Amino acid sequence: MSSHPVFRDGLLDGQVGIVTGGATGIGLGISTTLAQLGMHVVLASRKPENLQSAVENIVAAGGKATAVAVDVRDQTRVQAMARQVHDELGRIDLLVNNAAGNFYKKSEELSENAWKSVIEIDLYGTFFCTQAVFPYMKAQGGGRVVSTSMTLHYRGWPLMAHATAAKAGVDALTRTLAVEWAEHGIRINAIAPGPIPTEGVRKAFTPPPGAPVPDFFSVDKAMDVFAKATIPLKRWGTPEDIGQMVAYLASPAGDWITGAIFVIDGGEWLAKSKTGM
């Protein structure tokens, strides 16, 4: 696979990592970065069609990747996944808890099922997957877990009660397990990505069909103007920005880092009070 622009070739050779939600968006950026550095990545997510094409692309570029279909809310299935990965590949060096789900909804209108689905994916899923890899990491004398958090719960974030509550729980789990499992050589950290222009973000900037739009309007321009107004480093993030932090934590450079939560957002959340957005 081609050289990575930042890390040395083969940095993660021989390692095995599971990336939940690893076939799309930020998860795919993480998987691709890890594979570029030699790690065998196991993409784990609900939709087989996404898994298939992501694995094909990574393999076509010279990386090592396989897929497991799993819903992280299903503890039995998650345990079977960890067992399968260990049986087939012999070790589990890294787990990236990237799978997440959310939507904007007034808190007073959240049904039990809506609340539950987000809490179960974001918080239960993170715990189930982390617990499932524990025996393998313990037996091999160590391992790394990187969970995806967010910054929205650092302040009030209306319409996101479920996700902010779940991610506050992910932060707490990160700190607690870091202390509890340090004796087994397991490093537990989290990342809190800022705005990455996923399909959903692009959609939010795209005028609805039939809306009056001036000739000079462009979605890319509108997104660029927004980024410059709201992000101190004046650009949107990329999945690779996030992937590189995960690669750092998976590498020997992360050896003395545990219980840390890394905000990777171009300064966005710190500036929110100034921009009001």
* Binding segment toward ligand COA, per CB under 6 A, in 95-103, 186-194, 204-212, 213-221: 95-103
Residue 101 is a binding residue for ligand COA (CB under 6 A): yes
Enter the tokens of residue 146.
Answer: 């990187």
Least CB distance to ligand COA at residue 195 (A): 11
- What residue is closest to ligand COA based on CB? 101
Residue 165 is a binding residue for ligand COA (CB under 6 A): no
Least CB distance to ligand COA at residue 2 (A): 29
* Interface map 103-142 toward ligand COA (x if CB under 6 A): x-x-----x-xx--xx--x---------------------
Among 45, 102, 151, 244, binds ligand COA (CB under 6 A): 102
Q: Which is nearer to ligand COA, 102 or 244 (CB)?
A: 102
* Binding segment toward ligand COA, per CB under 6 A, in 98-106, 132-140, 209-217, 234-242: 98-106
Residue 72 is a binding residue for ligand COA (CB under 6 A): no
Task: With CB under 6 A as the rule, give the number of residues binding ligand COA.
Answer: 11
Q: Which is nearer to ligand COA, 37 or 242 (CB)?
A: 242
Cβ partners under 8 Å of residue 146, min gap 6: 94, 95, 96, 97, 189, 190, 191, 246, 249, 250
Name the nearest CA neighbour of 187 among 91, 261, 120, 98: 261
3-state secondary structure 195-261: CCCCHHHHHHHCCCCCCCCCCCCCHHHHHHHHHHHHCCCCCCCCHHHHHHHHHHHHCHHHCCCCCCE
CA terminus-to-terminus distance, the chain: 40
The residue with tokens 């539950």 is: 116
Reported residue count of the chain is 277
Enter the tokens of residue 218.
Answer: 């462009």
Enter the tokens of residue 19.
Answer: 């990336």
- Residue 101 DSSP label: -
Among 12, 18, 81, 100, binds ligand COA (CB under 6 A): 100
Q: Which is nearer to ligand COA, 26 or 67 (CB)?
A: 26
Task: Note the residues at the interface with ligand COA (CB under 6 A).
Answer: 100-103, 105, 111, 113-114, 117-118, 121
